[in-house]
């Protein structure tokens, strides 16, 4: 094959990679992107998008199930509902296909050349791609590594058969009768809760003392209560040991062995950088543990080699990768950019949802801040009451001396849609007075943000 030369080569067409390539193309940079599978990466194809589709379908089914009979408080009653899971999966796959086609169209519009195949470095400027028709050599002035991450396996629970990762969980043909989820972080909790709503008998196994251990106990409490309502079993301070003919063998908090019936076991204990076969041994790249070390310009330790997204470490979030991709594209195009983000919102699509932006109260105190904390419950929010879900709250953390907002957290139905407002407040350097003085539309959940700021200032109106 004829050798390809370009100014920018992007390896990986996930959220970070395709964003980088599109922006570079818009800026007139001669760009090539290499992808071994489908454009959109884990997020679009086997992660964020399909999981949220299933979560929505599960929520709709659960809502309908509660309308059977005459006891529904809304006065709506229906016959016994049925779930055609094959159609649900087909609908989910249709959304993925539409978005996948959209990414390809945007790359084409930006005049980005797409090479389908597996890339492997020969040196810091040269990559060989194994395509269906042979080896394609690509030489570039700058290279962006954006290969993402993959699920971590556990000893004794290798993926295959009844043991699955989130990838397989999103493509099941039927709803499992008994589902055991190993790992109660955000991936396990999101999928496990969805399957519980669709009829699975779900048990969570978590090695730490609390589900969703990355969040503080106050944020997690409404989620834990909801799991109880759904009939989900939760075993914390427990670990999975392997499979037996009787099911999954675990060691519980007391050190005793239990065997749990399991048609399927979902292992969701974390993700690791996807670098196998990439030829990174040919490069001299500094690392932080398993991750590639980068600076505030997303540069690695080799000149002209950048890295973005999951393989650069936590937080492993698609929106972080996209922001990094845009930044690198503009740097390659000659613009002066650097990573100066104050916060990145973390959203957990559990029931109810959790949003965390900036510092929690404990984190702020640990950094030496004297703080004010304002918390407003959705039980006092009119909009929350009118949709029959008033569990949760909004919490604002601010410096006591200047009222500068350091963090905002919330737990409740649909609070993911408030994440942008929370992030904007911190990025813009807002103070409690700014949020309190901003007129928030009524009736909306966003009023909880304003009321929490007022509470921190000592004059909440509706509590």
d(CA 382, CA 463): 12
Q: Are 324 and 188 in contact (CB under 8 A)?
A: no
The active-site residue, picked from 297, 442, 459, 462, is 442
Query: H helices within 80-180, ranges in order?
Result: 85-109, 166-169
Q: Are 357 and 346 in contact (CB under 8 A)?
A: yes
Compute φ and ψ for 112, nearest 5 degrees: -90, 130
Tell the burial category of 398 from Cβ atoms under 10 Å away from its Cβ (0-12, 13-18, 19+).
buried
Q: Respond yes or no: is residue 442 known to be catalytic.
A: yes
Residue 356 CB-half CA count within 13 A: 18
Q: Are 440 and 450 in contact (CB under 8 A)?
A: yes
SS (H, E, C) the chain: CCCEEEEEEEECCCHHHHHHHHHHHHCCCCEEEEECCCCCHHHHHHCHHHHHHHHHHHHHHHHHHCCECCCCCCCCCECCCCCCHHHHHHHHHHHHHHHHHHHHHHHHHCCCEEEECEEEEEECCEEEEEECCEEEEEEEEEEEECCCEEECCECCECCECCEECHHHHCCCCCCCCEEEEECCCHHHHHHHHHHHHCCCEEEEECCCCCCCCCCCHHHHHHHHHHHHHCCCEEECCCEEEEEECCEEEEECCCCCEEEECCCEEEECCCEEECCCCCCHHHCCCCEECCEECCCCCCECCCCCEEECHHHHCCCCCHHHHHHHHHHHHHHHCCCCCCCCCCCCCEEECCCCEEEEEECCHHHHHHCCCCEEEEEEEHHHCHHHHHCCCCCCEEEEEEECCCCEEEEEEEEECCHHHHHHHHHHHHHCCCEHHHHHHCCCCCCCCCHHHHHHHHHHHCCCCCC
Q: 148 by DSSP, 3-state: which?
A: coil
Residue 162 CB-half CA count within 13 A: 20
Catalytic residues: 442
């Amino acid at each position: 094959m004829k050798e390809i030369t370009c100014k920018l080569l992007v390896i990986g067409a996930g959220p970070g990679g395709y964003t980088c390539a599109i922006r570079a193309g818009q800026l007139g940079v001669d760009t090539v992107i290499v992808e071994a599978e489908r454009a959109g990466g884990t997020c679009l194809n086997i992660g964020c998008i399909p999981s949220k589709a299933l979560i929505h379908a599960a929520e709709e089914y659960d809502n309908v199930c509660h309308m059977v009979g005459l006891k529904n408080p809304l006065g709506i009653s229906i016959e016994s509902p049925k779930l055609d899971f094959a159609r649900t999966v087909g609908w989910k796959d249709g959304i993925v296909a539409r978005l996948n086609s959209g990414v390809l169209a945007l790359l084409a519009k930006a005049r980005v050349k797409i090479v389908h195949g597996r890339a492997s470095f020969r040196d810091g400027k040269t990559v060989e791609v194994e395509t269906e028709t042979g080896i394609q050599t690509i030489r570039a002035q700058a290279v962006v590594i954006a290969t993402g991450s993959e699920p971590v396996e556990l000893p004794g629970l290798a993926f295959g058969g009844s043991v699955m990762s989130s990838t397989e969980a999103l493509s099941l043909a039927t709803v499992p009768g008994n589902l055991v989820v190993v790992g109660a972080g955000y991936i396990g909790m999101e999928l496990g809760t969805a399957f519980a709503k669709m009829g699975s008998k779900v048990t969570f196994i978590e090695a730490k003392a609390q589900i969703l251990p990355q969040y503080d106990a106050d944020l997690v409490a409404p989620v834990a209560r909801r799991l109880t309502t759904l009939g989900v079993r939760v075993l914390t301070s427990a670990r999975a040991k392997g499979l037996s003919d009787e099911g999954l063998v675990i060691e519980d908090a007391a050190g005793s062995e239990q065997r749990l019936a399991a048609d399927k076991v979902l292992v969701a204990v974390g993700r690791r950088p996807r670098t196998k076969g990439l030829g990174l041994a040919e490069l001299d790249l500094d690392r932080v543990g398993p991750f590639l070390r980068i600076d505030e310009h997303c540069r690695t330790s080799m000149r002209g080699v950048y890295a973005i997204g999951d393989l650069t470490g936590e937080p492993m979030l698609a929106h972080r990768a996209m922001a990094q991709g845009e930044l690198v594209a503009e740097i390659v195009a000659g613009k002066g950019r650097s990573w100066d983000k104050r916060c990145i919102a973390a959203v957990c699509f559990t029931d109810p949802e959790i949003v965390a932006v900036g510092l929690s109260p404990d984190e702020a105190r640990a950094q030496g801040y004297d703080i004010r904390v304002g918390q407003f419950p959705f039980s006092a929010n009119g909009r929350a009451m009118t949709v029959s879900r008033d569990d949760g709250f909004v919490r604002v953390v601010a410096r006591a001396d200047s009222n500068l907002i350091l963090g905002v957290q919330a737990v409740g139905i649909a609070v993911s849609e408030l994440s942008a407002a929370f992030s904007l407040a911190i990025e813009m350097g807002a103070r409690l007075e700014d949020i309190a003085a901003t007129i928030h539309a009524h009736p909306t959940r966003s009023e909880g943000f304003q009321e929490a700021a007022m509470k921190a200032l000592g004059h909440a109106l509706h509590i």
